[in-house]
Amino acid sequence: MSIMQVIDLHQRHGSRETLKGVSFSLEQGEVFGIIGPTGSGKTTLLRLLDQIEVPSSGRVYFEGRDVTGSPRLRSELRRKVGMVLQKPVVFDASVYDNVAFPLRLRRYSRKVVHGKVDTMLNAVGLDGYQRRNARTLSGGETQKVALARALITNPQALLLDEPTANLDPVSLKTIEEFILRFSRENGTTIVIATHEMAQGQRLADRIGVIMEGQLVQIGKPSEIFYAPSDIRVARFVGVENILEGRVTSNREGLVHLDVHGRAVEAIANRHPGDELHLFIRPEDVVLSLSEASTSARNSFSGQIAGLAMSGPLARVHLDCGFPLVALITRQSAEDLGLQVGKQAHVSFKATAVHVIGQ
């Protein structure tokens, strides 16, 4: 069941159009990721979903009713939808008073407030912090207070704007797990905006990619990551190999492409002569020193043009008639004794190649 739906949302801030015709719907209980570069309109979209801002045009439906233009329905929506801002602020008051704030707005009795706040603080791991002034907390603790404060009313939907941007890896894990557990236990719909595509992949059931104010693709994480709908999305979700090629033959869905004079095979239904873009994720490229026997359809030899370590991974740039990047573990890079200028072999499956029209 759809809990929320937006249709053709546009938003102008002065002369700048931050959103251009965004439409989608949110299903009850799902975790929906909005990913996109900074400044692409994620925050504006969340603010419109929570009706803190009014769109310059377009409609927002909540529980089947159009709330745009009705102050009563807008405030009802805000009462049922929680939001944690990108830079969460806490009131200059105790942790207890901060978390109790939404309950007091709704005139719950002192006793009920007390019980709920203590339970919630316990759940986010802030037991014992009740009397601390919230302004004296660390970034991670502040984030937890903001999250507890947004969840204390058990909202139907929770909107999170870069919820873990200022967190260390340990707090990040705790918060992500807490959000997912809360959503599962209470059936809360979660919308999470993040510029970090990996977080979207970890948490979301569905992902929407927003670029320059437009929602360019919506789908399951696997679709977004392995079948991006255009070059911008592909670049953003970490497809480092974007090649151009022309179809030379098509045999029952297995196409041969001419890429810089080399033949590449891919699974697609395209006609000979079609000019296409080929997307290959760098982690799908297998690297070896000798020409190993492989079931992969595509096998090339080339020269190592560059080598960059990043954490536990190594990014290997090869020139095999066309440029290709392979992502392998640092350990295997060392075992293979990879060096710039050395020859190496790469292979990738025909299914690892995603093609779109140019």
Residues that bind other proteins (CB under 8 A): 47, 50, 52, 75, 78-79, 81-83, 85, 87-89, 91-93, 101-102, 105-106, 133, 146, 149-150, 153, 159
The structure tokens listed for 291 are 């020409």
Residue 142 C-beta: closest distance to other proteins, Å: 12
Q: Would you say 148 or 320 has its CB closer to other proteins?
A: 148
Q: How far is the CB of 74 from other proteins (least distance, A)?
A: 10
Phi, psi (5° rounding) for residue 62? Answer: -125, 125
Q: Could you tell me the two tokens for 226? A: 């392995």
Of 85 and 257, which has the nearer Cβ to other proteins? Answer: 85
115/167 Cα distance (integer angstroms): 28
Residue 85 or residue 210: which is nearer to other proteins going by CB?
Answer: 85
Considering the complex, what minimum distance in angstroms separates the CB of residue 200 from other proteins? Answer: 22
Distance CA 206, CA 203 (A): 9
Min CB(52)–other proteins separation in Å: 5
For residue 135, the minimal CB distance to other proteins (Å) is 10
Identify whether the C-beta of residue 25 lies closer than 8 Å to the C-beta of residue 5.
yes
| Minimal distance, residue 86 CB to other proteins, in Å | 9
Q: Cα angle vertex 292, ends 291, 298, to 5°? A: 75
Q: Rank residues 100 and 314 by Cβ distance to other proteins and give the closer one.
A: 100
- By beta-carbon proximity to other proteins, the closer residue of 141 and 265 is 141
Strands laid side by side in the 157-161 sheet: 81-84, 157-161, 189-194, 31-35, 206-211, 214-219
Choose between 67 and 237: whose C-beta lies nearer to other proteins. Answer: 67
Number of H helices, E strands in the chain: 10, 20
User: At 44, is the secondary structure helix, strand, or coil?
Assistant: helix
